[in-house]
Structure 1
Amino acid sequence: MAKPTPDTPGADDPGPGRRLALDVGTVRIGVAVSDSAAMLASPVETVDRLTGFKDRDKADIDRLLWLIGQYRPVEIIIGLPRDLKANGSSSVKHAKEIGFRLTRRMTNTDSLPVVPVRFADERLTTVAAERHLRDCGVNTKKGRAVIDQAAACEILQSWLDARSRRLAAP
C-alpha cells in the first residue's frame, strides 16, 4: 500500500472555532472535540461502527452528523492509521471512507455547513491513550470504548498543538 500523506495542521486553517476528531476503527469510532479556542481536546463519546464499504449509511454516520450539528466544528480531523514507517494500514480505507461519507452527507444536507475534513497522523495514539488510562487505573479490556475516545483526544490534541506552533511561527 502506498504511503498515505496526512494533512498539515494550520495549512488552509479555517480560523478560530471548535475542531471535532474521529478515531475510526472497524468496530467503534472514538469522538473528541476541542474548546472554541482550539486549545484543549476533550472526549465526547464512542459510536458503534455500523457502516461498511458497500453499505448504505447507517446510524453511525447519522450520529456523527448529529454531533457535527451540535458542536458546529470549523474542521473535522480524522486519524490516518499508519505504521512506524509511515506506510498505510488496511484501516486507512476505513478512515477515508468515513471522511468521504461525512463530506457527501454535509454537502447534501441543508441544515449543516460543509466542514473541511482533514486527515492527521495517528501513529501510536491508541498506545498513548491506553498508557494514560492504565496510569489512571482504567482496565484496558473493560475500557475499550473509553480508549477510543482517548485516542480521538490524542489525535485532536496533537493536531491542535501542531496548529498552534505553525500559526505562531514567523
Structure 2
Amino acid sequence: MGSSSSGDVYPRGIKLGVDVGTVRVGLAICDPDGILATPFKTVGRDAKKNSDIRVLVKQAAELGAVQIVVGLPRTMKGEERASAQMASEYAELLAEALLRAEMDVPVNLVDERLTTVTAHRNLHEAGMSSKNHRKVVDQVAAAGILQHAIDMQRARGTDVGRRVQARAQSETPSSAPTLRAASGSDPDSSTRGLQL
C-alpha cells in the first residue's frame, strides 16, 4: 500500500519531536526509518531572544532532519487553551526561522494529550527520583510526542497533524515576534481542528 504518488505521504528520515514549555523545551529524535523515538536534549526556553529556536534550527541542520513535530497540548475534551496557543506560536516561530535559514523542513503540530503525565509516570516507574525528573522529563515527553506521530504515519501511510505555515510578512528578521498569552485574535483559529 506504499503509494508515493500523493504529496501527502510522510517524509522518510530523521525527525525531531518538540515538547514546548514556558521554562524548557524538550527535544527527541527518531531513526531514519521512523521506528523508535528517543529523548535527545533539553534546551532552556528563551522567549525574549528565541535563542532556543536557533538551537533547534541548528540541530535540524546538523542531523539532516526531514520534519519537526511539535506537541499541541489539548484538554481531555480536545479544547485548546493558553498552552496550546503557546505551542502554536512557537511552531510558527520555528517555521519562520527554518525559512530564514533556507531550510525546507516542514513543521507539524500533533495532539499531545497526557504526554508529560505519561513521561513523569515512566520516569517514576524506572526508579528515577522526582527531583531528577525535571532534567529529562521534557525530552521524554518530546519522545512520546514523536513516537505517537511516527506510529500514526506508519499505520496510515500518510502525514499526520497540522502543517504550520511561516508567516510571509516577517518585516524585520531582527524583531522576531515573541510568544504572548492566548489572546483569541489568532487569524487561524478557525482552522484549529486536528484530524488525528
TM bin, normalised by shorter chain, reads 0.7 to 0.9
1:123 equivalent to 2:113? Answer: yes
Q: 1:147 aligns with which of 118, 137, 143?
A: 137
What is the TM-score of this pair, normalised by structure 2?
0.73
Q: Summarize the alignment of residues 146-165 of structure 1 with structure 2, pairs less than 5 Å apart.
A: 146-165=136-155
Alpha-carbon shift at residue 97 of structure 1 (Å) = 1.6
Partner of 2:84: 92
1:25 equivalent to 2:21? Answer: yes
How many angstroms apart in 2 are the aligned matches of 1:68 and 1:94?
21
Larger radius of gyration: 2
4+ residue runs of structure 1 moved beyond 4 angstroms? none
Higher mean C-alpha deviation, range 128-137 or range 93-102: 93-102
How many angstroms apart in 1 are the aligned matches of 2:61 and 2:32?
15
Alignment gaps of 5+ in structure 1: 1-10
Quick check: 1:22–1:152 contact (8 Å CA) kept in 2?
A: yes
AA at the equivalent of 1:141? K
Matched residue SS, 1:118: strand
Structure with the larger RCO, 1 or 2 (CA within 8 Å, 6+ apart): 1
Q: Percent identity?
A: 38
AA at the equivalent of 2:87? A
Q: In angstroms, what is the RMSD of aligned CA positions?
A: 1.6
Q: Summarize the alignment of residues 10-159 of structure 1 with structure 2, pairs less than 5 Å apart.
A: 12-51=8-47, 55=48, 57-110=49-102, 113-159=103-149
What is the TM-score of this pair, normalised by structure 1?
0.84
AA at the equivalent of 2:11? G
How many angstroms apart in 2 are the aligned matches of 1:164 and 1:70?
25
Aligned residues: 152
Alignment gaps of 5+ in structure 2: 1-6, 159-196
Matched residue SS, 1:82: coil
Alpha-carbon shift at residue 101 of structure 1 (Å) = 1.2
